[in-house]
Structure 1
Amino acid sequence: MQDIAREAGVSSKTVSRVSNGSDSVRPATRDMVLAVMDRLGYRPNFAARALKRGRFKAIGVAMFDIVATGNLLTLEGITKAASDLDYAVTITMMGKGQQRSLAAVVERMKNLPVDGVIVILEQMLPDVGTFVPPAGMEVLLVTSAQSTTMSTIDEDQYGCSTMVTNYFLDRGHRTVHFVSGPEESLDSHFREQGWIDALARRGVVAPPVIRGDWSADSGFNAGLELAHVKDCTAIYAANDNEAYGVMQGLAAAGKRVPDDVSVIGVDDVLRNLIPRLTLTSVKMNFGAVGRRAFRMVARAIEDPQRSRPTRELIPGVLVERSSVRDLTR
């Protein structure tokens, strides 16, 4: 640091202030010091900075699967929001064979230079209802599940399903068949429950669930099966991959969409992949969830005394195309 001060013609204190991101240095001086740092190959010691400030300006993200569409878009939202505030992001995976609990995840994160943790909770962990974050470590869950000790945020999975189910029923369909995601998926669980409850509120008993695995192939098999179910006119698939597979399965069985059977999916992620897409879908704003999740954690880190658990659900938006037939007309 003394070499930088000597080269830049400033005091060591000025170099320290620039290194620590202080606003008390004039812009021209800061730019000159930064140029010298770059020329001399200086890298700030973030551990020392953390000791001085009491935080690292970094958060951790824990997740089960980084390549799943929703997770990837949520992570993109987190990293963009973090970059806006000069935060770094450390990612850890909850892989198979590892102990899967919030306590284990946070314990791993405590050994890393992070100030808080965002857990993208695709599957229920055994201690979600009992875990209490340690002092000095803010923990937020991306899930529709509720917590009394941690803030949560998610797309409104339940509300998405009530919207889709009512949309079908309002257009004259007597019932709605559901193709789920994997049984262990929390998103699929809340979507399934929303579908069941929406039908019940209209006096309709839910037909048997067709279990899928988020893939187009599982949707295709569901379409083949439902094509032979008498009076099946409406199918709600838990994501767009399954919904597109359902449409192909129905076509293979000689059924037309929407003339014979109507189909709606969730996520609206195929619009840039499938030309002339006809699938009606619920657009989920994963990026907004990620951005909001980061801001909630950052706010709690900056002002821990005002932090208290909150729950936010971001509603989806129905994108109408041409895969639903209105039977009332």
Structure 2
Amino acid sequence: MKKSLIALAVLAASGAAMAQSSVTLFGIVDTGVSYVNNATGNDSSKYGVGTSGNATSRLGLRGTEDLGGGLKAGFWLEGEIFGDTGNAKGFDFKRESTVRLSGNFGEVRLGRETTPTFRAGLKYDLFGATGIGQFMGYKDWAGTGLADGNTIRKDNMLSYSSPNFSGFTANISYAFDEKANQATLGGNGGRYVGGNVGYDNGPLSVTAAYGTLSYGNVGDRDEMSIGASYNFGVAKVVGLAQQVKYKPEVGSSAKFNNYMLGVSAPVGGVGEVKAQYAYYDQKGNDTKAQQLSLGYVHNLSKRTALYGTVAYMKNNKNSNLGLQAKGVNDGSLSALGKNQTGVQVGIRHAF
């Protein structure tokens, strides 16, 4: 009898613990057809089935456990899916792999995730940092080849996010320079320190960010930005100004000033039309480029949408920026001074 009572107590305690925990499977599958002209040095075009034209395709698991007293533990594992090839190179959790602890003090996260400088800009890119329409200020402008040299994500990061104080929030992150990086880069190679502060209240949003990435004995990359948006109801206006500055140990520094302005508007309660202009003042390369992107998203339901995007990249004689059509024109640059036009149409489904 006593053993039965103990077993029942254990089962009851286990049930209570399970009731306070949750794990969610989530994801997005976004696949479409893309076309980009002047995609190679001989002026030929690229076209075919690609992925992530409107939103980055992904598969993830996230979970939380209520520890009581307002304290929660959780995790987030997320990897990219390639609907055009079925992840021929395998699946990983490089989009995010964190464990976290949150409470009245805010939230602490450990692992690989997006940097606070990239998250600040992502809030104002109408094309969500994907597809041919995306703002391209977040890239490895100096071509250093360092892993995560675009500072979009970093490994080995410790992050803190503050609570929301009447619309005001702050984030700060530190990515450790581990021995593997020190061996190849020297010094503090691979170390990242960055943060952002923002105000989001009603229709107004403003965010400022700063971060620095060390290339060890080679030098540093400093990045700063300020972005804002205002939703008028009939339309939403966004803007962003960003500077990326490379400071080598030997030689002069190189600046890349990037600007973006956009507007989006709802259409008939089921769609959204958006237009975005970006100007890339590549002082470090003594050249410039301009990008105009137009897009429309038609929601078939809360989870499924059809989309179409047209973009034009105008390169000056020493610029070779290329429109990003994942799976068709992956990271490819145009020939120097060549302009590009791209078109994407596809379907996005979230679950």
TM-score, normalised to structure 1, is 0.26
Bigger share in strand = 2
**Bigger Rg, which one:** 1
TM-score, normalised to structure 2, is 0.25
